[in-house]
Amino acid sequence: MTDGGRIHDTAAAGFSAGSSAYARGRPSYPDEVVEFLAAELGLGRGKKVLDLAAGTGKFTALLVPTGADVLAVEPVKEMGDELRASVDGVEVLEGTAEDIPLPDGSLDAVTVAQAFHWFDPDAALSEIARVLRTGGGMALLWNRRDESVPWVGRMSDVLRWREFDRANYDRIDWSAVVRKSGLFTDVQHTTFPYEQELDRQGLAERVRSVSYVASMESAEREGLVEKVLGLVEDKPERFPLPYTTLVFWCRKG
Ligand SMILES: C[S@@+](CC[C@H](N)C(=O)[O-])C[C@H]1O[C@@H](n2cnc3c(N)ncnc32)[C@H](O)[C@@H]1O
């Protein structure tokens, strides 16, 4: 953690306790998203991109094949350690979105996958603008579970997902949040379909990796795992957990 950098208590507790479950149970992102962002933001050889709040490196790993120099910033030591162990060729720095340990104007792009909802948005946007060169790109993305699929909707009910304020990132107008900062061009937005293929063990880890579930007492946590596994009794050994990947992007103005 950087001096003065502090993250939400649930993130700190949940992501340190659940880092291994996170690495095993959370989804990656569609390859098309990276191809799309590489084209839109001009990522490639000779460019420098930061994956902010990189976690165990699920999105970071997909940036490496673009040929850009990839840096990662992550505040939770256990998550950063998973990243260092599993993704080669990335410099991993300890830090927060509100206090990014990089010089002014030093980056061509910043990506934030499944994490901007944890930040203090105004402080983070001003830090992201500080480390980007003028015209540099910012992309915010999230994998949103497809709750229109009945068992996925029931899983959200079992986890009481909507009662946790940070889980409502898909109801926030991120374009308006970015526009208010006055630091970026208009935000553009698109979506990609995505599926995570899981077995029962993978679904159990998916549940254990949810920040507020990871920080529960083990009896309560495993009770939720059992209930969620009960929702997929009729499924074959491997089955898809469907998502929509939400992508927002803009440039430093
Ligand atoms: C759901 S994980 C996403 C990790 C990774 N980007 C991915 O796509 O798998 C959220 C990450 O945000 C990090 N985080 C939470 N608050 C943060 C902050 N204020 N600054 C930087 N990172 C933060 C957590 O430590 C965690 O690794």
CATH number, position 78? 3.40.50.150
* 213 domain residue, yes or no: no
Any atom of ligand 1 within 6 Å of the Cβ of 76: yes
Report whether 119 contacts 95 (CB < 8 A): no
pTM of the model: 0.95
Measured from the Cα of 76, ligand 1's closest atom is 25
Substitution candidate for ligand 1 out of 3, 16, 37, 79 with most atoms within 8 A of CB: 79
Q: Is residue 227 part of a domain?
A: no
Q: Which domain holds residue 122?
A: 3-148+166-197+242-251
Taking alpha carbons only, the member of 115, 93, 134 closest to residue 252 is 134
Burial 61-80 (b: 16+ CB within 10 A, else e): bbbbebebbbbbbbbbebbb
- Residue 2 confidence (pLDDT): 40
d(CA 67, CA 70): 8
pLDDT(218) > 60: yes
Q: Is 79 in the pocket of ligand 1 (CB under 6 A)?
A: yes
> Is residue 96 lining ligand 1, measured as CB closer than 6 Å?
yes
Residue 59 CA: which ligand 1 atom is closest?
8
Look at the chain and report how many structural domains it folds into: 1
Q: Has residue 115 been placed in a domain? A: yes
Query: How many whole angstroms from 53 Cα to the centroid of ligand 1?
Result: 4
pLDDT, tens only, 8-58: 998 988 898 889 889 889 999 999 999 999 999 999 999 999 999 999 999
User: In which band, very low, low, confident or very high, does the pLDDT at 3 lie, cut at 50, 70 and 90?
Assistant: very low
Confidence of residue 1 (pLDDT cuts 50, 70, 90): very low
CA distance 110 to 95: 14
Residue 54 Cβ inside 6 Å of ligand 1? The answer reads yes
